[in-house]
Amino acid sequence: MTKIPELLTMLKSGVHFGHQHAKRHPRMIPYIFTSKSGFHIINLEVTQEKLKEALDFVKKIVANGGTILFLGTKKQAQPIITKYAQEVEMPYIIERWLGGTFTNYLEISRVIKRFTDLKKKRASGELDKYTKKEKLEFDREIDKLNKMVGGIEEMSKVPDAVFVCDIKKEKTAVAEAVKKNIPVIAMCDTNVNPEKVNYVIPANDDAVKSIDLITSLIAEAVSEGLSEKGKIQEIEAIAAEKEEKKAKAEQAEKAEKDAKAEKDAKAEKEAKAEQAEKNKQTEKAEKETTAKKEEKK
């Protein structure tokens, strides 16, 4: 189970630092502990509680075969999101959010297909037949598409949940997630409205160490979920094997019963035919006897 970091660890990572008083959002008041030098201080004990809820949810989703999309387009979050998402082989977005990624995934999937096809053609040498200028244009298009959809290339459908570093910056993504009923797990600083977030993690969403700490924990929960998923699949495979053996045994038993029933039916039919033949012979004999008696008279 993912270990919730101690208060001191979170303090060292700057998780507790909020924004200035003037930037505070009223709905973040329950997550604020106090203020110091004009800045709000996040209640890290609440962060621990909320973090546990979020990590348990992530683990459950992944264990059931779900996908978590990692999202962080702010500069300081990009390398962190890339690192941890790639470690657990989950989709991620670090460049500009493409409108319709959730609400119009069919169109996004076409862009992904174009990107995949171009990469395959370049790798196989299929683009070598074009001029130097045309190949350069293809390279530029591949680079452009890589920035757009490179992190979600393997995402075959909309994710089962999305982890967001900064919901204020990613407001379009959050709005789309809400519209498509995709659960949102997010770091929420004191200047945001957490109303649309399903799993709020009160934390500093600007400091690199804070983002790294929270994202690493999400990735760890994903990893645990994947391990549990493997165990579940193993159990399901064993159960399926047992069911298959049981079905085969039942089938063999049924076949044996059918063969016996067929054999009995055949024997009964033959017995009836034999009895009918005997009855016929007896009837014939009786008729002959009667005829002879008639002749004597």
pLDDT in tens, 136-146: 999 999 999 99
What does the DSSP assignment read for 135-153? Answer: HHHHHHHHHHHHHHHGGGT
For position 266, what pLDDT does the model report?
A: 82
CA dist list (Å): 124 to 117, 128, 139: 11, 9, 14
For position 228, what pLDDT does the model report?
A: 87
Over residues 81-110, mean pLDDT: 94
CA dist list (Å): 172 to 102, 119, 195: 10, 29, 15
Counts for the chain of helices (H) and strands (E), in that order:
7, 8
Asked, for residue 266, whether it belongs to a domain, the answer is no
Task: Please identify which residue in the block is written with the tokens 């989950």.
Answer: 90
- Beta strands across the sheet bearing 199-202: 92-93, 68-71, 161-164, 184-188, 199-202
For position 296, what pLDDT does the model report?
A: 66
HSE value, Cβ hemisphere, 13 Å, CA-based, for 192: 26
Residue 34's domain spans which residues? 7-231
For position 280, what pLDDT does the model report?
A: 78
Over residues 53-70, mean pLDDT: 95
Asked, for residue 261, whether it belongs to a domain, the answer is no
Task: Tally the domains of the chain.
Answer: 1
Asked, for residue 293, whether it belongs to a domain, the answer is no
DSSP 8-state assignment for residue 167: T
233 has pLDDT over 70: no
For position 282, what pLDDT does the model report?
A: 77
- Condensed to tens digits (0 to 9), the pLDDT of residues 208-225 reads 999 999 999 999 999 999
For position 102, what pLDDT does the model report?
A: 95
Percent of residues, the chain, with pLDDT higher than 90:
70
HSE value, Cβ hemisphere, 13 Å, CA-based, for 191: 14
113 or 278: which leads in pLDDT? 113
Asked, for residue 149, whether it belongs to a domain, the answer is yes
159 has pLDDT over 70: yes
Asked, for residue 283, whether it belongs to a domain, the answer is no
Number of other residues whose CB lies within 10 A of the CB of residue 215: 21
Over residues 147-157, mean pLDDT: 93
For position 236, what pLDDT does the model report?
A: 60
What does the DSSP assignment read for 182-235? Answer: --EEEEE-TTS-GGG-SEEEE--SS-HHHHHHHHHHHHHHHHHHHHHHHHHHHH
CATH number at residue 40: 3.40.50.10490
For position 237, what pLDDT does the model report?
A: 61
For position 239, what pLDDT does the model report?
A: 61
Asked, for residue 98, whether it belongs to a domain, the answer is yes
**Mean pLDDT over all residues of the chain?**
89
Asked, for residue 284, whether it belongs to a domain, the answer is no
Asked, for residue 132, whether it belongs to a domain, the answer is yes
Over residues 92-115, mean pLDDT: 94
Q: Are 166 and 210 in contact (CB under 8 A)?
A: no
Task: Provide the pLDDT confidence category of residue 245 given band limits of 50, 70 and 90.
Answer: confident
- Report the distance separating Cα 160 and Cα 122, nearest Å: 32
